[in-house]
Structure 1
């Protein structure tokens, strides 16, 4: 019985450690769809640093972030727990499609414009070598990013649901920033 209790304690400690690590430090995510082509592929596994979410850091321009697309609702600490892969698997919410992988285009105070199928930030056209192709048939638009929010877009601009559709992303909906995959070898 003593040996069984030792195993149970060890397993419980490992589960708690995995939860803390996944909620506060880093977490794997799977890319779902083609909105980040050619940078990221459908079903590709990426690793995300959660430190920006934990400490409310503002992500830099061009960083790839995972966001909670349900911007119309407040997020709570319970949302962070439920979105952990282990908890999601146990609760049957592993197929939740509310987490999007996108690129940061605008930060608080920025004026973003779409004109002539090009993105402008604060009056300057963006150099975006990472996009799949030029935007087609885009209506001119203009936004000013509010405080404590960011504006995100997918690299496959013609096939991406992003801030153009869902609106500005509150900082507490930024789950983290992508880090290089330490387990993937260079080709």
Structure 2
């Protein structure tokens, strides 16, 4: 009987710890590893960053220049199940590791017009001063994007080696998983 009480005490402590860890990583704070070189020189591959999830929980609107973590699967609605399964605790067990979570910089917010012309980026007709990019873009087709309400436009700092809104379009705000804090 004493051994059962001890096992129950240990088991309930473990379950409580896992529950708290899940709550923190889903709603408050999460370490994230940068995969790929799309954010160089700002963030290097395999660099660990810490992401505040509070903005997502508090319906925060990302600001121009924020470095955000996004779910790149913009063709479908994001659910709470995704939030749960994308935590580091469960992502190691996922069979399908397509790296759907990307780290990017916010370039445009709702109502902005993003124009790419002659390998340069303009927001609402103004050329962006981007001292954070790795190198000038080359061979980028001219394009124009109007950022709809409830969405943002993101790009990697390594423009010549980045999959971003130029390819997948604007990102729904509910696909912004967090904002880099350090």
Q: Same fold (TM over 0.5)?
A: yes
2:26 maps to 1:23 = yes
Report the counterpart of residue 66 of structure 1 in structure 2: 69
What are the Cα deviations for residues 153-187 of structure 1, in whole angstroms up to 9, with x where unaligned? 0000001000000111000000000011xxxxxxx
Tell me how far 1:53 sits from its aligned partner. Answer: 1.3
Distance 1:137 1:59 in 2: 29
Gap runs ≥5 in structure 2: none
Report the counterpart of residue 156 of structure 1 in structure 2: 158
Gap runs ≥5 in structure 1: 181-187
Tell me how far 1:141 sits from its aligned partner. Answer: 1.0
Instruction: Give 1:5-154 correspondences, 5 Å limit.
Output: 5-89=8-92, 91-93=93-95, 95-154=97-156
Report the counterpart of residue 184 of structure 1 in structure 2: none
Report the counterpart of residue 167 of structure 1 in structure 2: 169
What are the Cα deviations for residues 118-141 of structure 1, in whole angstroms up to 9, with x where unaligned? 111011111111000011122211
Tell me how far 1:95 sits from its aligned partner. Answer: 3.2
* Secondary structure at 1:5 match in 2: helix
Tell me how far 1:8 sits from its aligned partner. Answer: 1.0
* Secondary structure at 1:8 match in 2: helix
Contact 1:88 1:94 in 2 (8 A): no
**Runs of 4+ with >2 A deviation:** 91-96
Q: How many residues align?
A: 179
Q: Superposition RMSD on alpha carbons, in Å?
A: 1.1
> What TM-score, normalized to structure 2?
0.95
Contact 1:30 1:46 in 2 (8 A): yes
> What TM-score, normalized to structure 1?
0.92
